[in-house]
Amino acid sequence: MTTQHGIQQSPSDAGWTPESWKARLAAQQVRYDDPIAVARAVDKLGALPPLVTSWEIEHLRSLFADAQEGRRFVLQGGDCAETLADCRPEQITAKLKILLQMSLVLVQGLRRPVVRVGRFAGQYAKPRSSMTETRTVDGREVTLPSYFGDLVNQADFTPEARRPDPHLMVRGYQHAAMTLNFIRSLLDGGFADVHHPEYWDLSFFGNASLAPERREAYERVSRSLAEAVEFMEALGEARVHELTRVEFFTSHEALNLLYESAQTRRVPRREGWYDLTTHMPWIGERTRALDGAHVEYMRGIANPVGVKLGPKADPAEAVELARALNPGNEPGKLVFITRMGVGNVESALPGLVGAVAAAGRKVLWIADPMHGNGIVTRDGTKTRSFDAIAEELRKTCAVHQAAGTVLGGVHFELTGEDVTECVGGAAGVTEACLSRNYASLCDPRLNYQQSLELAFMLAALLRDGGGRRA
Ligand code: PEP
Ligand code: CO
């Protein structure tokens, strides 16, 4: 079939174009008040070179296909919301290092290669529970648009800052490019090479107090990995380079569809359309309506796509989503990221997993133990408990094990810094110390130590059987 624009379409693409989402209802969309400025920003974005390439995207799809069969494990993580101000070398390096160190613990424990996917280089748009925010300013109630992330408006509570500004899409894109450029240069320069223990070394985290037994356990893991690599090299193992090369992929919530569709292109010598702002875009829990704009946009792109599923997701709806987003039932194409909340895993997850399996739909299941476990302290601070996060992971593993399905990865909000945003963990962050270093503008993140602790816990959990096909 050929459209009026001369675009070849397969039957399942019928009616799809990078902009066909505009005819659907888009949840969580802000209203820009200057359409000419929007058109200018979108044109500018569309003319800039892409951030990622189609062959990287296809490569990630093949890695996801392995992960959904239990041959690899996906570690996805990073900030809840990146900010333009945090596009700084220290912050980026710290995030890469914690993901690297966690992946090292997982590789060693699971004896499976780990695929690292950052919530970075574009995680600038945030869904909110309310379109507006009301605060008392100088004794008066003031209502302004909510802060939707640096891609849309600014966090300060003033009318100028909260006004959605289309030029921020271009600035966000530029900052994503700078972030990715730095990450690519670090990796090219051997940052993540196991031959360079100085990069893997815990001493980098001078400000993070790690319990001595954790430090020892980590050092044991990194030593044994380095020895294994040396041993393979001594044997002349040809695959050693492949095994030790570390890759990072990018992901973000595809919330602002103007931003995504502006960089959605065909590429030479390949079929299909690619969202070239990121390797793996995902649809959030609040924007996954089957007939909504986000599902419409995502069904037409070739990237692997994620969908967040919360405790209210209906099993039949999940199957429909799988059909809509992956009509060809291709491996590695669709990722369901479950975020139930610790109290709902056992009641809500088995139905979803069972329905998708019974319908024969191919899905990579990833556990996000963060977004269902938000709590607010008595003084109004948003936090999450380490114990609830760990327990959701345990329960999610148990559900997959009982169903004979594969838990192929995890999704965390974390930072390599020594923040105090989530309570609990071995360092004993309590409610009283949350204000010591609470830096997130959105959801609370695991700090360096809590992240590494979870990696050890997961490695033990999955080694004991969870996560592989029964
Ligand atoms: C997020 O990942 O930051 C988020 C908002 O998640 P969810 O859509 O699962 O609520
Ligand atoms: Co979040």
Where does residue 85 rank: exposed (0-12), middle (13-18), buried (19+ CB within 10 A)? exposed
CATH number for the domain harbouring residue 401: 3.20.20.70
Q: Are the beta carbons of 37 and 31 closer than 8 angstroms?
A: no
What is the β-pairing status of strands 280-283 and 248-253?
A: parallel
Residue 302 in any domain: the answer is yes
> DSSP class of residue 377?
-
Q: Is 228 helix (H, G, I), strand (E, B) or coil?
A: helix
Phi (first) and psi of residue 208, to 5 degrees: -100, 125
Q: Whose CA is closest to atom 3 on ligand 1? A: 80
Give the pair of three-digit tokens for residue 201: 């070394």
Q: Whose CA is closest to atom 10 on ligand 1? A: 285
Domain count, the chain: 1
Ligand positioned closest to the Cα atom of 129:
1
Q: Which residues contact 358 (CB under 8 A, 6 or more apart)?
A: none
Q: Which residues contact 469 (CB under 8 A, 6 or more apart)?
A: 69, 70, 404, 405, 406
Q: Which domain holds residue 457?
A: 71-463
How far, in Å, is the centroid of ligand 1 from the Cα of 284? 5
Residue 298 in any domain: the answer is yes
Residue 150 in any domain: the answer is yes
Residue 417 in any domain: the answer is yes
Residue 48 in any domain: the answer is no
Residue 15 in any domain: the answer is no
> DSSP class of residue 429?
B
How far, in Å, is the centroid of ligand 2 from the Cα of 371? 6
Residue 350 in any domain: the answer is yes
pLDDT in tens, the chain (470 residues): 444 344 444 545 679 999 999 999 988 988 899 999 999 999 999 999 999 999 999 999 999 999 999 999 999 999 999 999 999 999 999 899 889 889 888 988 888 889 999 999 999 999 999 999 999 999 999 999 999 999 999 999 999 999 999 999 999 999 999 999 999 999 888 777 766 665 566 554 444 566 777 778 777 777 776 776 676 666 666 666 666 667 899 999 999 999 999 999 999 999 999 999 999 999 999 999 999 999 999 999 999 999 999 999 999 999 999 999 999 999 999 999 999 999 999 999 999 999 999 999 999 999 999 999 999 999 999 999 999 999 999 999 999 999 999 999 999 999 988 899 999 987 788 998 999 899 988 899 999 889 988 998 999 998 876 544 44
Rounded Cα distance between 452 and 274, Å, is: 34
Which ligand 1 atom minimizes the distance to the CA of 285? 8
Please give the model's pTM, rounded to 2 decimal places: 0.92
Q: Is 294 in the pocket of ligand 1 (CB under 6 A)?
A: no
Q: Are the beta carbons of 316 and 354 closer than 8 angstroms?
A: no
Handedness of CA 196, 198, 202, 208 (dihedral sign): negative
Q: Is 80 in the pocket of ligand 1 (CB under 6 A)?
A: yes
Residue 82 in any domain: the answer is yes
Handedness of CA 253, 256, 257, 263 (dihedral sign): negative
Give the pair of three-digit tokens for residue 424: 């609990």
Largest CA distance in the chain: 74
Q: Is 445 in the pocket of ligand 1 (CB under 6 A)?
A: no
